[in-house]
Structure 1
Amino acid sequence: MEVEVISKEIVKPSSPTPHHLRHYQLSFLDQLAPAVYNPLVLFYSFNKDSNPTITEISNHLKTSLSNVLTLFYPLAGRVRDNLFVDCSDDGIPYFETRVKSRLTDVTTNPVPGEINKFLPFQPDEVAEFGLGVQLNIFQCGGIGIGVCISHKLGDAFSFFMFIKTWSAIAHGDQPDYIVRPEFVSATLFPPKDTTGFDSRMGITKKNIVSKRFVFDASAIETLRAKYEEKLGCRASRVEALSTFIWTRFVDSNKDEPGPKLYNMLHSVNLRPRFEPPLPENSFGNIFRIAVTAPTYLSSGEECYGLAREVREEIRKIDKEYVKKLQQYGDEHLDFMKKGGEKFMRDELMTFSFTSLCRFPVYEADFGWGKPMWIGSPALTFKNLVVFMDTKIGDGIEAYISLKEEHMAKLEGDQEFLTFVSPPLLLG
């Protein structure tokens, strides 16, 4: 798919950042976050009777973007030395492109690697800029808005907070309905000396392929029912699907030499786990990882207990965990370093899951309706799964990134394919 950049410019905040806010301190958890971008592309189609011109669309986006950057002022700065953001209102890169294809060429058969072309930066680029936006204009008049936010500044929750606020401003919502961020992360988790910790561990372009698989609601319900007996209650959609994908990955690679010490990693939002809970508009990397060391490595009936293990580890990320993390951050850093050393020595294989399910991803109306589809690009983390809700129904889109040989084995696994929606086995 050919994408031609036709213009580049810098969009700056509509109002200058006050002098006392020019030095934005990264938190300890920001420092631990990978130096990459969180990326998504929002696709919009237009009714021929109300199709705005590209100039109108672009000017509308840039004006509202300038206004929202005043609220999210660190995003318009520059990250320095993994310690702070220089909030000097330098602005964010804004690109416009012409796509020599129709929007339906993308949405009828989404290929994650092709979606990368609609982004202002590649996800694994070192994140000096806090934010980047790319407006992609298709031959049919439809558009794709590619957005990248530095993971050093915010987690997925922060990403969607920004999208929600930007679209609300663009839509002309009343000020009382516009979410304003609270920058409390560094107060909760003061920065530390992270010497010896590599935040880019696991990021690689070599031999990694990303593909999108769709699991419809009935397939997910079947998996939830399978795991219910061992779990003692109904498994969540994410618990069931992550357990299933992991077990099929292990089974399809059971004859491969290498490390047999596995960790399953699930990202967990800490905001509701504070005492009292943090407001939802708390901006930053306010998440941690639940680590499950699976007891079972086969795919037989006994492995269904893994869903229970996953739930137990996620539940350990509670208010007591948060208190200890605040008090004993150095111990947590040592734990992260030791895990990284095992990973680099090939003693440990990790498999990471990030869920964007239940986020209001399809509510972003910039003034011309809600997105027809939202896509994730190919990511350069080995053994990574990103879950997103399907637009309609209770299905889940799973973006899976694996080594090429591991992906080939997974795609050849008949039990795995049994649960994938056949018409939507894309990639």
Structure 2
Amino acid sequence: MYNLQVPRAYQQSPVCNSQQRWPVGMTISRGLIVQAPLISRRQLHVVSRSRTNVKPASPTPLKFKDYNIPSHDLLMPDFCIPLILLYPNPQLSNPSASKTAIINLLKKTLSETLSEYYPFAGRLSSSGSHVDCNDEGIHFLEAQIACSLSEILEKNPVRDEKEGYGHLFPPGSIWHNVSYSRNLMAVQLNHFSCGGIAIAVILSHRVADGLTLMSFVSYWARLSRNLNDQEKLVHRSPCFVHELLLPQSGNHNLTATQFVAPEKNWITTEIVFPHSKVDKLKAELEMQDEQQGIIINKNYTRNELVTALLYRCAVTAATASNSGTYTKSVLLQAVNMRPVIDPPLPKTSVGNLITCNHIPTDTMNETKLNTLVGQMRKGMMQLRGSKSMVGKEAFALIDKYTKLIYKVYAISSICKFPLYDETDFGWGRPVKAAVVDTPLVNFIFMMDTPSRDGIIATVSLEKQDMENFLANKELLACASF
């Protein structure tokens, strides 16, 4: 009988409590950690890292041993999507046992979750066209990090190991191609010097999109909270719907797309758009539309406005970098097809069930906010009622517009996904959740702030473009950095 008592109570602050011993070189001023840059560089590293293998709790039935990857998934790159969740120090009744209890709980429930998401514990074939669901399991790493959680929270979610989140993931895994003997998934549990923890998860894009990864983590967390009441998880189980969308006969003969993630040559930063500022922009824009007799774009959503604003400011920055000459550009807005396909698919459907709403702009005049929103809505209407994913492969659109010599900007949003509420493993919500960095330049990820009072955008642009972008007056009126 497995019985773990993990209280949910947490400190109010993500920093260590007053009894915590601070590393040498740190001082406290008005509750903030102050540290010299050279000391910071020396201390932000992995003290130790160990690795074990976690296998599914129950074997995969023989009829499910061969998982044919759908055709639209074969066109996705096989690099790893990196998600991280950061939690402050739990106040346990027996602190000496807390670390072991949490590790054991996470491993046990991860094992049971893998039984449901059985392909993720298998191995990708050499052709990349199918998964051998052999239950070999996934790597579970544990790392002791020589800094406090509060220091990590001050950093941008970039892949750099000294100034970002790189050391919190399995080495070389952030947006890199599947490694670890072609494992599809890996987890790293990080322990900070103050007692806080971070759970970093990577999953191959070849078999799943970001929403599938979040559904996996949500199931894992809910199972951890309801260890002895698994009936609550029935409606959370994964749905493997690829057979319903595309015929899979002869899939072994299909060739998977070969994609090598480029070395990073861009700048990544986080930008926050408070709802109060976006609502002000919304009111101003709707007033302008009314004065001009425009009625089609009334009732703008925050997501639409922030997406349009980010794109407009990005292309404006690129124009400034190009001596004022506008470069043909295209906005690729990621669309979750689960609620769009007819009939709609369950939220827990597994796979790359995304496409892109594509909006080319050949002149700056076409980047007006109301124009962009109108084009977004037109594209969404065209996608509704789709019967399959045929012809809707996201990376195929990137390739198409690249060949047409368009500068491609991809924006993906997981706003309104209950990420913070769904990732409570039994000790409270994370203080931060993030998709770390981006796979390519000119990519933007949007998600809710922890308190849901704004939108956080992780933006990746070329260096000069980023400088111009951060100086944009339209952006500065709605955002903070």
TM above 0.5, one fold?
A: yes
Shift of 1:298: 4.3
1-side partners of 2:312 and 2:350: how far apart? 35
Match of 2:18 in 1: none
2-side partners of 1:22 and 1:232: how far apart? 50
Match of 1:140 in 2: 194
1:402 partner letter: L
Shift of 1:418: 2.8
> Equivalent of 1:189, from 246, 258, 277?
246
Shift of 1:7: 0.8
1:212 partner letter: E
Matches for 1:353-392 after TM superposition, within 5 Å: 353-363=411-421, 364-392=423-451
Shift of 1:212: 0.7
2-side partners of 1:290 and 1:123: how far apart? 26
Match of 1:117 in 2: 167
Q: Aligned in 2, Cα 1:250/1:226: closer, same or farther, shift over 3 Å?
A: farther
Match of 1:418 in 2: 477
The alignment yields a C-alpha RMSD, in angstroms, of: 2.5
1:132 partner letter: A
> Equivalent of 1:58, from 90, 103, 109?
103
Q: Is 1:239 the counterpart of 2:298 in the alignment?
A: no
Work out whether residues 42 and 375 of structure 1, in 8 Å CA contact, stay in contact via their aligned partners in 2.
Answer: yes
Identity %: 27
> Higher helix share goes to which structure?
1
1-side partners of 2:395 and 2:113: how far apart? 35
> Equivalent of 2:349, from 275, 282, 286?
282
Match of 1:82 in 2: 128
Match of 1:251 in 2: 316
Q: Aligned in 2, Cα 1:406/1:350: closer, same or farther, shift over 3 Å?
A: same
How many residue pairs get aligned? The number is 411
Work out whether residues 116 and 378 of structure 1, in 8 Å CA contact, stay in contact via their aligned partners in 2.
Answer: no
Q: TM-score, normalised by structure 1?
A: 0.89
- Secondary structure, in 3 states, of the residue corresponding to 2:216? helix
Q: TM-score, normalised by structure 2?
A: 0.79
2:238 partner letter: P
- Secondary structure, in 3 states, of the residue corresponding to 2:309? helix
Work out whether residues 309 and 369 of structure 2, in 8 Å CA contact, stay in contact via their aligned partners in 1.
Answer: no
1:119 partner letter: F
Q: Aligned in 2, Cα 1:248/1:199: closer, same or farther, shift over 3 Å?
A: farther
1-side partners of 2:316 and 2:326: how far apart? 14
- Secondary structure, in 3 states, of the residue corresponding to 1:254? helix
1-side partners of 2:210 and 2:429: how far apart? 20
> Equivalent of 1:396, from 445, 451, 455?
455
Of the structure 1 ranges 403-412 and 213-222, higher mean CA displacement relative to structure 2 is found in 403-412
Match of 1:272 in 2: 339
Match of 2:27 in 1: none
Match of 1:297 in 2: 364
Match of 1:107 in 2: 153
Q: Is 1:126 the counterpart of 2:177 in the alignment?
A: yes
2:146 partner letter: K
Work out whether residues 355 and 392 of structure 2, in 8 Å CA contact, stay in contact via their aligned partners in 1.
Answer: no
Larger Rg: 2
**What residue ranges of structure 1 are gaps of 5+ in the alignment?**
none
1-side partners of 2:404 and 2:148: how far apart? 44
Work out whether residues 81 and 175 of structure 2, in 8 Å CA contact, stay in contact via their aligned partners in 1.
Answer: no
1-side partners of 2:400 and 2:358: how far apart? 16
